[in-house]
Amino acid sequence: MTVLEQRGSRNENYWPAPPPAWRPRVDPEPLLPDAEPYRLLGTDAVSRVDSGLLTELYGHLVRGRRYNAQATALTRQGRLAVYPSSTGQEACQVAAALVLEEQDWLFPSYRDTLAAVARGLDPVQALTLLRGDWHTGYDPREHRIAPLCTPLATQLPHAVGLARAARLKGDDVVAMALVGDGGTSEGDFHEALNFAAVWQAPVVFLVQNNGFAISVPLAKQSAAPSLAHKAVGYGMPGRLVDGNDAPALHEVLTEAVERARRGGGPTLVEAITYRVEAHTNADDATRYRTDDEVEQWRGHDPIALVERELSERGLLSDAFAQQVRDGAEELAAGLRDRMNQDPVLDPMDLFAHVYAEPTAQLREQEAQLRAELAAEAEGEAGSGRGPAHETTGKERP
């Protein structure tokens, strides 16, 4: 039950003419998350999971793992500037994408390119930003995937704004907003959840608690009983789920999306998972955590967990496993080949699509760059050599 639903339901006689803001308005109990993360795999309840869903999740997870490995390899080959891997977090990425309808929106962070790929985005487009070339790399409206946000938690108010606007227009749209454990300490997280609850906006906030914000472990990040508990303070339900249990995540997120769709308001879901790789290829995780810890989490691997259930059901034949692996290799090979082609870039695009009306400074910078490019092209044509890089003494500081 939410704040709005419960207004006036308790202590009716306590204040003769109560100032509304003083009255206890909420029974927090129904909003509180479970003490333990919700699980299906390895429990009796797994029997209710549809085999078709299980095989679909498996295919996505295996492709996702291979995609992560290929993207990481591309950083070593200098084809990708930076890659924040979601290895170990594939269940969160895949479930978040699969529970959405076509008209819904996904709001990813830099670590969530796999969620975008699982939603159907071309992997090369998903990696364009991390390659350091052209803006977002895809048309957000076409795919209903907002641009990947590097500034932490900024995608959350965007998600709330879009969801609220859709509701005002009467459009059937739910927004799925992804954020990390570290991102929950940001002001934008607070503002987004507060507005979402007050407006009863159709948003699902999925916190992927992977244990770290770069080198900062969760214990130094938050003293909350769980990150899902934060939901209660805003007046929305908090759910705690095993982030490596793909069918459990699928169930919890489906419920949250359905609730949002029927006007029941937002939900905060905390998925307990683990970032198996370093923060990005530029980070050395051995400086702040032990191999033992990583090994323990490898023992709770999202793919192995689904595999175990599939084989218990007799659904993991050699032929099926091979078919899934072949599909994953095909995706990786396509990604490798296409990322090995040099992109054709127009430096003037730097100034496109930022403002409807460019500022005076941007116009000045644009003119400056155009002149520099023209001078360079002239130098090349005149000398018959490469670009002229001699200083003229007239460069701007």
Ligand X SMILES: Cc1ncc(C[n+]2csc(CCOP(=O)(O)OP(=O)(O)O)c2C)c(N)n1
Residue (204 or 276) nearer to ligand X, CB: 276
DSSP state of 279: S
Residue 150's binding partner, choosing from Mg ion, ligand X, none, with beta-carbon cut-off 5 to 8 A by kind? ligand X
Give 256's Cβ-side CA count (13 Å radius). 30
Using the rule CB under 6 A, give the single segment among 121-129, 146-154, 247-255, 299-307 that binds ligand X: 146-154
List CB contacts of 122: < 8 A, sequence separation 6 or more: 138
Looking at 66, 79, 158, 275, which residue is catalytic?
Answer: 275
Residue (159 or 166) nearer to ligand X, CB: 159
Of these, 42, 151, 217, 347, which contacts ligand X (CB under 6 A)? 151
Within residues 54-93, the interface with ligand X by CB under 6 A covers none
Residue (41 or 130) nearer to ligand X, CB: 130
Report in angstroms the alpha-carbon separations of 390 from 4, 376, 379, 396: 68, 11, 10, 14
Q: Does the active-site annotation cover 288?
A: yes
E runs forming strands in 41-138? 105-107
Using the rule CB under 6 A, give the single segment among 10-18, 212-220, 349-357, 371-379 that binds ligand X: 212-220
Q: Does the active-site annotation cover 353?
A: no
Residue (206 or 260) nearer to ligand X, CB: 206
The label of the residue with tokens 């997280």 reads: 189
Within residues 300-359, the interface with ligand X by CB under 6 A covers none
Residue 239's binding partner, choosing from ligand X, Mg ion, none, with beta-carbon cut-off 5 to 8 A by kind? none
Of these, 150, 194, 215, 254, which contacts ligand X (CB under 6 A)? 150
Q: Round to whole Å and give the CA distance between 365 and 387.
A: 21
- CB 28, CB 232: distance < 8 Å: yes
Q: Closest approach of Cβ 80 to ligand X, in Å?
A: 17
Alpha helices in 235-359 (DSSP H): 246-261, 291-298, 302-312, 318-339
Q: Does the active-site annotation cover 275?
A: yes
Looking at 39, 261, 288, 308, which residue is catalytic?
Answer: 288
* Chain CA centroid to CA 308, Å: 27
Residue (38 or 110) nearer to Mg ion, CB: 110
E runs forming strands in the chain? 105-107, 175-180, 203-209, 212-213, 216-217, 238-242, 267-272
210 touches ligand X by CB under 6 A: yes
Of these, 33, 108, 182, 235, which contacts ligand X (CB under 6 A)? 182
Residue (252 or 276) nearer to ligand X, CB: 276
- CB 197, CB 2: distance < 8 Å: yes
Using the rule CB under 6 A, give the single segment among 28-36, 178-186, 287-295, 309-317 that binds ligand X: 178-186
Within residues 101-140, the interface with ligand X by CB under 6 A covers 111
Looking at 119, 164, 167, 279, which residue is catalytic?
Answer: 279
Size of the site for ligand X (CB under 6 A): 14
Buried b (16+ CB within 10 A) or exposed e, 337-372: eebeeeeeeeeeeebeeeeeeeeeeeeeeeeeeeee
168 touches ligand X by CB under 6 A: no
Handedness of CA 269, 270, 272, 275 (dihedral sign): positive
Q: Closest approach of Cβ 22 to ligand X, in Å?
A: 35
Of 266, 161, 279, nearest in space to 207 by CA: 266
Q: Round to whole Å and give the CA distance between 111 and 86.
A: 6
Residue type, 245: D
Residue 240's binding partner, choosing from Mg ion, ligand X, none, with beta-carbon cut-off 5 to 8 A by kind? none
157 touches ligand X by CB under 6 A: no
Residue 214's binding partner, choosing from ligand X, Mg ion, none, with beta-carbon cut-off 5 to 8 A by kind? ligand X
Q: Closest approach of Cβ 181 to ligand X, in Å?
A: 4
Q: Round to whole Å and give the CA distance between 32 and 228.
A: 8
Per CB under 6 A, residues contacting ligand X are 111, 150-152, 180-183, 210, 212-214, 275, 279
Q: Point out the residues that are catalytic.
A: 275, 279, 288
